[in-house]
Structure 1
Amino acid sequence: MITTTLFEKIEQWLNENKWEYRSRENAGIIEIDMGLKCELKQCQVIVWMKEGQCVVMGRVPIKAEEDARERIAEYFCRVNYGLYSGHFDLNYSDGEIRYKTYLPESTDPDAQRENIGEALIRPAMMFDAYGPGMMKVWRQEKDPAQAMEEM
């Protein structure tokens, strides 16, 4: 079961690495704003302790327009099929786009530090890797299969 200890370890990692973040410890939430290399420009990473799990979610500040949601959903389905860890989500109701993974708790301190760093950076890395294809699908420059072939 995830404890506040993991939350404290995450904050310690962030402080040691001089990352700026906002913490709402009572709610079990840490928020980090990260820049992206792709045209999406930024990603908000949210660490969320809930029901014994530590979820790490990245979301971008744009929402898919209703007429693009089906294409983007197909693209994400194609992307998700080959992913080792984590997945892209699209909220069909409001168009929110996010990448979600989890952070396991480890008794090995070195492994835990490495896991924290990888989990925190992964959403931004995934948006940098797959965001350009998503935008091509959104703008109808490529269909989802073509966008995946370019990856």
Structure 2
Amino acid sequence: MKEPLPSPSATVTQDAILASVVAFFQANDWSFSQHETEPILQMQYQGENGEWLFTVRVREMPGQVVFYSACPVMVPEKKRLAVAEFLTRANYDLIIGNFELDFEGGGVLYKTASIVNQGTDLSSQLIGQLVFVNVMTMDRYLPGLMSVIYANVSPSEAIAQIEQTPTPENP
């Protein structure tokens, strides 16, 4: 049986969510720009394996906050099927978030998100977890993605190389 969607009165306002996210980035000294009319923040993020655009979007119904890391290159049309396989393989073991491929334009995003209801604390800790899982995952998979696009490495081999590399949570 499906759970009912939260009623509009049960969700936290867009302004309250955005204020919590802005406070997180200010407290952590992240430089960002805020869209003039939309609840969107953008910033550049420098990882160990590349630099990319990081975007936060707040959606009022149903009280969502969504974090995106955008791959710094567009996938050429002739590589999109191989990249789709790579991203599907990458998504298989991911617990928080997922990769997305725009088949029309070739953009690749990594997305983490949360629904924030009344009574739910959108804490700095929760925001931090969603942000850092996001950027760390993009940073981890970016070299494999680039190897599929530019070095003709097979998607399965690129994933195998990534999974053999130790991470802080899996030494």
TM over 0.5: yes
* Residue 68, structure 1, aligned to residue 79, structure 2: yes
How do 1:131-146 and structure 2 match up within 5 A? 131-146=142-157
Contact 1:23–1:31 under 8 Å retained in 2 = yes
The CA deviation at 1:140 is: 4.2
How many residue pairs align between the two structures?
A: 148
Q: CA RMSD in A?
A: 1.8
TM-score scaled by length of structure 1: 0.88
Contact 1:56–1:103 under 8 Å retained in 2 = no
Choose between structure 1 and 2: higher strand proportion: 1
The separation in 2 between residues aligned to 1:49 and 1:25, in whole angstroms, is: 14
1:42 paired residue number: 51
Contact 2:54–2:69 under 8 Å retained in 1 = yes
The separation in 2 between residues aligned to 1:137 and 1:59, in whole angstroms, is: 17
Gaps of 5+ in 2: 1-10, 164-171
Contact 1:74–1:144 under 8 Å retained in 2 = yes
The separation in 1 between residues aligned to 2:110 and 2:67, in whole angstroms, is: 8
The separation in 1 between residues aligned to 2:36 and 2:124, in whole angstroms, is: 19
The separation in 2 between residues aligned to 1:122 and 1:26, in whole angstroms, is: 28
Choose between structure 1 and 2: higher helix proportion: 1
The percent of aligned pairs where both chains have the same amino acid is: 24
* Residue 93, structure 1, aligned to residue 93, structure 2: no
Contact 1:29–1:47 under 8 Å retained in 2 = yes
What SS does the corresponding residue of 1:63 show, helix, strand or coil? coil
2:25 paired residue number: 14
TM-score scaled by length of structure 2: 0.79
CA deviation vs aligned residue, 1:7-37 (integer Å, no higher than 9, x gap): 1011111111111011126311111210121
Runs of 4+ in 1 over 6 A off after TM superposition: none
Contact 1:45–1:123 under 8 Å retained in 2 = no
